Amino acid sequence: MPAASNTMSDARAWVEVDLGALVRNARALLAHAQKPLIPMVKADAYGLGAVRVVRALEALDPLAYGVSSIAEGIELREAGITRPIILFTPTVLEAELGGWKGNDLRELFANRITPTLATREAILAWGMLGNEPKYHLAVDTGMHRAGADHRSAKGALEAATQFPPDGAFTHLHSSEMDDGSMEEQEERFRVFVSKLRKRPRLLHVENSGGIVRRSPSAWDCVRPGVFLYGVGSGTKAALQPEPVVSLRARILERRTIAEGEGVSYGATWKASRITELATVACGYADGLRRQLGNTAHALVHGKVAPIRGVVTMDMAMLDVTDAPCAIGEVATFLGRDRGASQSVEQLTEGSGISPYEMLIGLKLRLPRTYTAS
């Protein structure tokens, strides 16, 4: 790419999503795992637009899609997606709870969204709604977030005897780490599944980090998430994704400051020389997190332009002393520019921000444009 894209000539800042790269990442995982995919498209496909992402992934014939709220599932149904959709968060039974009446099961049933269940009460209530409607049994093997406890889930096991699950799964808490925890969780899951009267049709364990650690998968399907969107599992991982997201913003102002002058709120950065600053139209209200100030940089004309001072709500200041530029030109926070590039991991390194948080934050108010390279 010879220069930063200017595909949104009327925008102050924008996100570019390369659906071609997204699909290639999915194909790479499919070939590596040698098992069907359940792409996780929760949180608006990690901030990139769930409907557009799902429509691109349909060509790969995924087994289902994973969401984290009923509204996310309904959005896909209303967009014409007929493939199975699985809700990967606990389901609230119909009851008065602190002034809020939960009625998840009936809404899930009405919209053909498959729940993940973990209690006797939920399984029995779901089973009574129709002719043995499908669900996946959630098993907690160490994440301690949701699911039936792998050591003591007598009620869930009894209910699963009456209404057998179509699938069962657990979630890995440290899949990127070579500390034995993945293998320990898998063994706990195997023991739990052996207690079921009937083996579910689909057993799944691996998230993105788990998928890339071995080939083929030991299970019936896999649940890729952040890898699809261009974030890997470290430089030593067997598989690396292509970048999918670019974040660009226009330069609004230029100014020169003297040695010793401070920049932004609190003057947390002070110039050690005469410095050329460029103010860009992107701030934490756009998803460019406040913590990136004084730790991260943008690319301007392919050159590094550090963020100086804290990022403000609508703008950030770049040191362009070594990256000459003009008002109206483009700064690239994510993506390629004139032979240089910056990934989500590189942008967030040293800031304390997870690449997951960075991606999801981009949905706040930035327009998105889609390509299929």
Q: Are the CB atoms for 187 and 152 separated by under 8 Å?
A: no
pLDDT of residue 7 exceeding 80, the answer is no
The per-residue pLDDT for 100 is 54
- Give the mean pLDDT of the chain: 93
Let me know if 135 is a catalytic residue.
no
Query: Is pLDDT above 80 for 5?
Result: no
User: Quick one: 245-371 is in which CATH superfamily?
Assistant: Lyase, Ornithine Decarboxylase; Chain A, domain 1 (2.40.37.10)
Query: Does the active-site annotation cover 265?
Result: yes
Q: What is the pLDDT of residue 364?
A: 72
| Residue 103 amino acid letter | N
In sequence order, what E strands does 28-99 have?
65-67, 85-87, 95-97
pLDDT tens by residue, 231-257? 998 777 889 999 999 999 999 999 999
Residues in the chain, total = 373
Asked if residue 121 lies in contact with residue 150, where contact means CB atoms within 8 angstroms, the answer is no
| Tokens linked to 364 | 């706040």
- pLDDT value of residue 99: 54
- From the candidates 42, 135, 229, 370, give the one annotated as an active-site residue: 42
CATH 3.20.20.10 domain range(s) in the chain: 64-220
Which of 101, 154, 195, 265 is an active site residue?
265
Residues 6+ apart with CB under 8 A from 271: 257, 258, 259, 260, 261, 262, 263
What CATH number belongs to 64-220?
A: 3.20.20.10
Q: Cα separation of 240 and 302, whole Å?
A: 23
Tens digits of per-residue pLDDT, 272-281? Answer: 999 999 999 9
Q: What average pLDDT does range 55-74 have in this prediction?
A: 97
CB neighbour class for 347 (10 Å; exposed up to 12, middle 13-18, buried from 19): buried
Mean pLDDT, residues 8-22 taken together: 92
Calculate the alpha carbon distances from 325 to 44, 253, 277, 294 in Å: 34, 10, 10, 20
